[in-house]
Amino acid sequence: MMFFLKSRYINKTIFMVKEIYTRSPDDPNYVFGVYEHSDPIESIITQIKMILGTIQGQVYGNINFGVGLEDLVFASRINKNELEEKIKAQIYQYIDEASDYNIRPQVSFGRDSGSEFAVVDIFIDEQKSIGILVK
């Protein structure tokens, strides 16, 4: 089975292929009964989640892929600007379709009842598309 993010040209032929819908029922934007889609923003969101959840070195053949968000936030005292730049660099390096959109990560850190946490929001064309709480 082959999945593409949007139209691809192979030997001057256009292939329009749908992707698997990967949102969880816990996601506030989940749509019941949808199993596949052809929305480029939805595809980018799926790929961003993969990048944020993958620790560098986990992908054979590409040890630089991934941000490893939880490790970066808590293991290494990285600052807000460095983390935003790292996320943005990964997005534009590994998601071809990202160049068609303005994608901006926004990171904030906090402390609640003695526990540290981070909130990572991803804006696509100035619309909040992903919000992740890391604690």
What tens digit of pLDDT does each residue of 25-79 get? 888 887 888 778 778 888 899 899 999 989 988 889 889 999 988 777 776 678 8
Of the candidate CATH numbers 1.10.3470, 3.40.50, 2.40.50, 3.10.450, the domain formed by 8-134 belongs to 3.10.450
What tens digit of pLDDT does each residue of 72-115 get? 777 667 889 999 999 999 999 999 889 999 999 999 988 888 88
Whole-angstrom Cα distance, residue 102 to residue 123? 8
The answer to whether the predicted template modeling score (pTM) of the entire model surpasses 0.75 is: yes
How far, in Å, are 33, 49, 64, 118 from residue 72 at the CA level? 36, 15, 14, 10
Q: What are the residue ranges spanned by the domains of the chain?
A: 8-134
Q: Which residues pair with 115 in a beta bridge?
A: 112
